[in-house]
Chains A and B, each alone.
Chain A
């Protein structure tokens, strides 16, 4: 019963403490908003200036086809000199020159193909490859039809992914994990060192309250807070930035709960070593920052070098995020992640033992 009052008191204190609310909500929401505002998976459009010196049916057909591609903005208003100056100045990305009398030359027949001159900035490697692919596609098609050849192979596209999966959707469970981790570790470490400094822990020791009830109060309040935190992060992502969660919120809650226990224990361990709240914040950041960057909050861990991935996959945040994404995005049940759950369970066990060992009241 007393532990329950401790939970209530801890919740009250959290909501009255601005610094605590910052780490709980503002910090993760900043990430949601920033990454929500940037159109991260919208491909960059390229500006293509066409200098049509031919102005016949073939060149017209080609330009019209280029205009139908959303990634390319076609501009025909510039002169060659202007276009080249603007390419140098970075105002346009490509200049395509269609030589004069294209139709007549093709009709006459030529030994070598007629060159369409494309000038570009060599720095934009990815976009350049895309532009060459598109132009080559058109040119091949034109060659075939001008030669009256019959296509033998064709690509048949079929959209099978029913749900729309964006980079932001990938990020959202990452922010839930990051928010829960940062808040639990930094807040518990700070509060613990503060309570020790203010002798609140000793005062508890001088009362008949069993120590575990005092800590149950802190842990209980944090478990409630972590669920509120996860709900607010997801809600902000879904309502403000059209994020998606396809799976079960129950499994998300279970994973948040499990991960939170590990992070609370880490917070207790950090708080046992930190003499002052200031050191606790510093040490807490030293623990959370590497996990934030290497456990796959922002990028999939598959993109890391294999040796690093081998290490990073055992950090507690990594399996939590893998399972969270599997549950939230692929709508899988939680038992599809036995390895991840195993690593998390091992962390729960190890950190609990260490936290109890290193904890001190004064």
Chain B
């Protein structure tokens, strides 16, 4: 495999606000052309880390390099070549979409015509409307159009789908994939594990200012001691301790009322036959049996002992 070029390097990045350590010495690289995700709960330090990398905030210590340039020493040069979308940001209330894109475009040496940008995000008919008249999903798409005014090589998206309904979220995912297919590197933060799984080639899981794991979503899940989940529904209550003693089963969680049990298993190929045999011995009929891989939610729980969303 050809050696992949790193487009972003983060080395021992620390950001403190008084006694609070928002980012606690993180290091990672982003490869050219990949979609890189930073997944973590609210308050994990994702936004602060991103803003330090983008050159908006001064880090307390550490180094951030984009396209071979230090983002703090060569800030202006870096900013010409990156696109930044801020979390829950807005744009001028009294300018039309086309006027805003035109104004932002003039800031950069290289810029894309507003009409082309609006067409890309499916808002060409809204060129003469103001941001206030757009729906939540349209606003988010417009803010992505605004990050593309300078035809950037690297695009940063901070929580791009927070607050959107499922349909609008899917539309936005398609847009992110389209940006990726144009050959741009995308770095995004999210607290939705489905989003990280759907969009990102590699994911850094962040908690309390630290990166607790970094890999592809498949590798993160497979690295778990129990990468599979077996869910069964039985006709009557079952002894949990007996199920937990079956081969390859590590943990059983059960819902007593509906007789639904979830088994964390290290190997589904040996756990499922053993479970079926044990069921036959017990004289239990399984009404429903499903095997699925663990999720990033399970990974986060295993790594931090917490739920991703509280």
Contacts and interface: CB of A to CB of B under 8 A. Distances in A.
Contacts of A12: 94-95, 99
Given A16-B94, A205-B56, A209-B107, A199 B88 contact: yes
A199 B94 CA distance: 16
A198 B106 CA distance: 21
- Which of B93, B103, B107, B108 is most buried by chain A, counting CB atoms within 10 A of its CB? B107
B207 interface: no
Contact of B106 (A2, A202, A203, A210): A2
A241 B65 CA distance: 66
A16 B84 CA distance: 28
Interface in A192-218: 198-200, 202-203, 205-210
Interface string A1-43: 1100110010011101100000000000000000000000000
B94 A206 contact: no
Contacts of B54: 206
A13 B80 CA distance: 26
A13 B107 CA distance: 18
A202 B94 contact: no
Interface string B136-147: 000000000010
Interface residues of A, number: 21
A6 B108 CA distance: 14
A203 B86 contact: yes
Contact of B107 (A2, A14, A16, A199): A2
Given A2-B107, A207-B107, A199 B92 contact: no
Interface string B75-104: 111011000101111111111000100011
A207 B94 contact: no
B195 to A, nearest CB: 21
A5 B90 contact: no
A50 to B, nearest CB: 67
Contact of B90 (A9, A198, A208, A209): A198
A117 to B, nearest CB: 71
A203 B107 contact: no
Nearest to A204: B107
Given A12-B94, A13-B92, A5 B103 contact: yes
Tell me whether chain A's interface is mostly helix, strand or loop, or mixed.
helix
B92 A9 contact: yes
B84 A206 contact: yes
B90 A199 contact: yes
Nearest to B104: A207
B103 A202 contact: no
Contacts of B80: 208
Given A206-B54, A207-B107, A9 B99 contact: yes
B221 to A, nearest CB: 34
Nearest to B156: A206
A11 to B, nearest CB: 11
Contacts of A209: 107
B91 A200 contact: yes
Contacts of B91: 198, 200, 203
Contacts of B103: 5-6, 9
Considering residues A6, A12, A14, which has the most beta carbons from chain B within 10 angstroms of its beta carbon?
A12
Interface in A242-278: none
Contacts of A205: 56
User: Which of B89, B93, B94, B103 has the most C-beta atoms of chain A within 10 angstroms of its own C-beta?
Assistant: B94
Contacts of A16: 94
Given A208-B107, A209-B107, A200 B79 contact: no
B112 to A, nearest CB: 14
A183 B84 CA distance: 33
A206 B106 contact: no
Contact of B56 (A5, A14, A202): A202
Contact of A202 (B89, B95, B104): B89
Nearest to B90: A198
B94 A13 contact: yes
Nearest to A208: B79
A5 B91 CA distance: 16
Contacts of B108: 207-208
Contact of B94 (A1, A6, A17, A210): A17
A14 B94 CA distance: 8
Nearest to A1: B106
B89 A200 contact: yes
Interface string B172-202: 0000000000000000000000000000000
Contacts of B75: 208
Contacts of A207: 79, 84, 104, 107-108
A340 B91 CA distance: 41
Please indicate which of the listed interface residues B77, B84, B92 has the most CB atoms of chain A within 10 Å of its own CB: B92
Contacts of B93: 13, 17
Contacts of B84: 203, 206-207
Given A207-B84, A208-B108, 15 more contacts: A5-B103, A12-B99, A13-B95, A16-B94, A198-B91, A200-B92, A202-B86, A202-B89, A203-B91, A206-B55, A206-B79, A207-B79, A208-B76, A208-B79, A208-B80
Interface of B: 54-56, 75-77, 79-80, 84, 86-95, 99, 103-104, 106-108, 146
10 contacts: A12-B99, A13-B93, A16-B94, A199-B90, A200-B92, A203-B84, A203-B91, A206-B54, A208-B75, A208-B79
